[in-house]
């Protein structure tokens, strides 16, 4: 898998969901991004070019890197690569389903054990076993995803695919001319896969990155899918994949007001224990996390605590 190297050292700003994009322009001012902006709206998939409203709020020139459109061109040109990529995605989806099935079995057992009338100490011990089993499944899934990506990258090195190499070179040149990179939210896998394919966040030097929602999630080392009130099925958080790893030990959780049952302390407690030692940070509209040299320098977010409480409006 393509790794982001240590040459990416600029400030990274993660934001909550955007309604009018006003915050993006303000943040670009704050990080003193003087110049054009490289824009990644790939999470919007085939609508990535509908960026007028966003660009207007950036208050500076912007170049949409159009990663979705570029990838479509590549898949059309490189049929062998496209086929292998489809097979990789199918395998990753199978892995996701199987991992989910195992997680549900552990959760079901925990539920059955939790209602037994035995002493509290024994139940606490069982709770620890549940968390450990889930952590094991989480880590195992992430490891398997990494193995899949490594196998794919070794069989289909991007540098050896002429069209990919050419697009990468063009993108590197565009990004080099820009003062900052802005990454929107949207569809996680659509975004993550293309960020990997084009490796645009490598060698950014000290250029700032501003990202929100799915864009922010992709920058972390582990991407966690969550929704406590799904239309059907269990409300069980799950790992999606390893992220790009620019941010470590923070679980980025956009839109907690809608997606989290914040009053269910037992669920929050188990979740934070499962994610430890990472900080689990809920990011509603207005939330922001600013990292410098990989360290969290400033924060305004909701913090999920191991005791099951939600620390609203936590500031650092």
Partner 1 sequence: MNLAINRFSSGPKTRQTVRDFFAGKRFPLVEGDTITFVWRGDAHEVKLHHWVFGLESAQHLTRVDGTNIWFHCMPLPPESRVEYKFEIIHDGHGRWIQDPLNPHLARDPYGANSVAHGNGYTVPEWIHPDPASPYGSYEIVEFSSAVFGQRQTKVYLPARFRSTRQYPLLIVHDGDDYLNYTALGAVLDNLMARREIPDMIVAFTNSAHRLVEYANDERHARFLTEELVPHLESRYPLRAQPQSRCLMGASFGAVASLSTARRYPGFYGRLLLQSGSFAFTDIGDRNRRGPLFDNVVSFMNQFRDQPAAISERVFVSCGTYESLIYENRSLIPLLEATGMDVRFREARDGHNWENWRDRLREGLSWLFPGPFLLVYE
* Partners of residue 315 on adjacent β-strands: 300
What's the min distance (Å) between Cβ of 72 and partner 1?
12
Binding piece for partner 1, criterion CB under 8 A, among 21-29, 133-141, 146-154, 179-187? 179-187
Q: Is residue 79 a contact point for partner 1 (CB under 8 A)?
A: no
In contact, 28 and 58? CB cutoff 8 Å: yes
Considering only 6, 19, 173, 277, the residue that binds partner 1 (CB under 8 A) is: 19
Binding piece for partner 1, criterion CB under 8 A, among 5-13, 125-133, 227-235, 273-281? 227-235
33-62 binders of partner 1 (CB under 8 A): 43, 46-47
189-218 binders of partner 1 (CB under 8 A): 189, 213-214, 217
What's the min distance (Å) between Cβ of 145 and partner 1?
15
Q: Is residue 231 a contact point for partner 1 (CB under 8 A)?
A: yes
Residue among 18 and 203 whose Cβ is closer to partner 1: 18
What's the min distance (Å) between Cβ of 15 and partner 1?
12
Q: Is residue 102 a contact point for partner 1 (CB under 8 A)?
A: no
In contact, 268 and 238? CB cutoff 8 Å: no
Q: How far apart are CA 130 and CA 132, in angstroms?
A: 5
Considering only 187, 202, 203, 294, the residue that binds partner 1 (CB under 8 A) is: 187
Residue among 11 and 254 whose Cβ is closer to partner 1: 254
Considering only 188, 209, 242, 246, the residue that binds partner 1 (CB under 8 A) is: 188
241-280 binders of partner 1 (CB under 8 A): 254-255, 258
Cis peptide before 67 (omega within 30 of 0): no
Residue/partner pairs of 50-57 with CB below 8 Å, 24 or more apart: 53/21, 54/21, 54/24, 54/184, 56/21, 57/20, 57/21, 57/22, 57/24, 57/25
- Residue 158 per-residue DSSP state: G
Q: Is residue 186 a contact point for partner 1 (CB under 8 A)?
A: yes
Q: Is residue 185 a contact point for partner 1 (CB under 8 A)?
A: yes
3-state secondary structure string across 235-247: CCCEEEEECCCCE
> Considering CB under 8 A, how many residues would be counted as binding partner 1?
24
Residue among 109 and 225 whose Cβ is closer to partner 1: 225
Taking Cα atoms as reference points, which of 305, 175, 183 lies closest to residue 247? 183
Write out the DSSP string of 41-108: -GGGGGGTT--HHHHHHH-S-EEE--HHHHHHHHHHH-HHHHHHHHHHHHHHHHHHHHHHHHHHHHHH
Radius of gyration of the chain (CA): 20
What's the min distance (Å) between Cβ of 154 and partner 1?
27
Residue 260, helix vs strand vs coil? coil
Tell me how many degrees the CA angle 51-55-60 measures, rounded to the nearest 5: 155
What's the min distance (Å) between Cβ of 225 and partner 1?
5
Q: Is residue 32 a contact point for partner 1 (CB under 8 A)?
A: no
What's the min distance (Å) between Cβ of 68 and partner 1?
13
Q: Is residue 17 a contact point for partner 1 (CB under 8 A)?
A: yes
Q: Is residue 227 a contact point for partner 1 (CB under 8 A)?
A: yes
Bridging pattern class, strands 288-292 and 250-254 = unpaired
Q: How far apart are CA 41 and CA 37, in angstroms?
A: 12
Q: How far apart are CA 125 and CA 34, in angstroms?
A: 55
Binding site for partner 1 (CB under 8 A): 17-19, 43, 46-47, 185-189, 213-214, 217, 225-227, 230-232, 240, 254-255, 258
């Amino acid at each position: 898998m393509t790794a982001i190297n240590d040459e990416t050292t600029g400030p990274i700003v993660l934001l909550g969901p955007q309604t009018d994009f006003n915050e993006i322009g303000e943040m670009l001012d704050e990080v003193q991004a003087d110049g054009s902006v490289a824009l990644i709206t790939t999470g919007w998939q085939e609508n990535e070019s509908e960026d007028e409203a966003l660009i207007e709020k950036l208050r500076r020139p912007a170049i949409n890197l159009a990663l979705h459109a570029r990838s479509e061109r590549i898949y059309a040109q490189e049929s062998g690569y496209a086929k292998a990529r489809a097979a990789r995605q199918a395998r990753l989806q199978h892995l996701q389903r199987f991992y989910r099935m195992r997680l549900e079995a552990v959760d079901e057992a925990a539920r059955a054990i939790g209602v037994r009338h035995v002493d509290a100490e024994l139940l606490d011990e069982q709770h620890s076993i549940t968390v450990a089993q889930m952590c094991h499944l989480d880590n195992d899934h992430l490891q398997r995803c990494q193995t899949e990506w490594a196998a794919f990258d070794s069989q289909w090195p991007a540098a050896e695919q002429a069209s990919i190499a050419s697009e990468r070179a063009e993108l590197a040149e565009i990004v080099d001319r820009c003062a900052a990179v802005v990454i929107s939210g949207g569809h996680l896998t659509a975004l993550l896969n293309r960020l990997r394919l084009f490796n645009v966040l490598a060698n950014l030097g000290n250029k700032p990155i501003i990202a929100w929602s799915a864009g922010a999630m992709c920058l972390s080392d582990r991407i966690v899918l969550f929704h406590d009130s799904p239309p059907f099925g269990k409300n069980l958080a799950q790992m999606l994949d390893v992220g790009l790893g620019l941010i470590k030990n923070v679980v980025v959780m956009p839109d907690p007001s809608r997606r989290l049952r914040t009053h269910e302390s037992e669920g929050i407690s188990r979740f934070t224990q499962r994610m430890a030692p990472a900080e689990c940070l809920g990011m509603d509209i207005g939330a922001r996390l600013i990292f410098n040299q990989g360290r969290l320098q400033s924060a305004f977010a909701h913090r999920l605590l191991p005791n099951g409480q939600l620390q609203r409006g936590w500031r650092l």
